[in-house]
Amino acid sequence: MGAIAAAMAVMTGGLSAIGIGIGTAKAAEAISRQPEATGKIMTLAILGLALAEATAIYGLLISILLLGKA
């Protein structure tokens, strides 16, 4: 049961990678449409991508903790 829980926790890494890809693509589209707003777009994109990456790191830590107890 612990291995299944760890696998589900690791899935957060893959799902956050999808979210990071989508966020980066949308930021690139926004910059191409409004180059004068590049600074604001990049600030929001970096903040959002950092939060998405944090969820992946949390999932990795949880999976390591769950496998360590098994």
CA distance linking residue 5 with residue 16, whole number of Å: 17
Q: What integer pLDDT is reported at residue 32 of this predicted model?
A: 95
pTM value is: 0.75
What distances in angstroms separate CA 63 from CA 1, 32, 49, 60, one per listed residue? Answer: 12, 39, 21, 5
**Domain carrying residue 49:** 2-69
pLDDT, average across residues 35-58: 92
pLDDT, average across residues 39-52: 92
Average pLDDT, the chain: 88
Q: What integer pLDDT is reported at residue 12 of this predicted model?
A: 84
CA distance linking residue 17 with residue 22, whole number of Å: 9
Domain count, the chain: 1
Using pLDDT thresholds of 50, 70 and 90, give the confidence band for residue 40: very high
Using a 10 angstrom Cβ sphere, with 0-12 exposed, 13-18 middle and 19 or more buried, the burial of residue 24 is middle
Q: What integer pLDDT is reported at residue 31 of this predicted model?
A: 95
CA distance linking residue 18 with residue 15, whole number of Å: 5
> CATH code at 65?
1.20.20.10
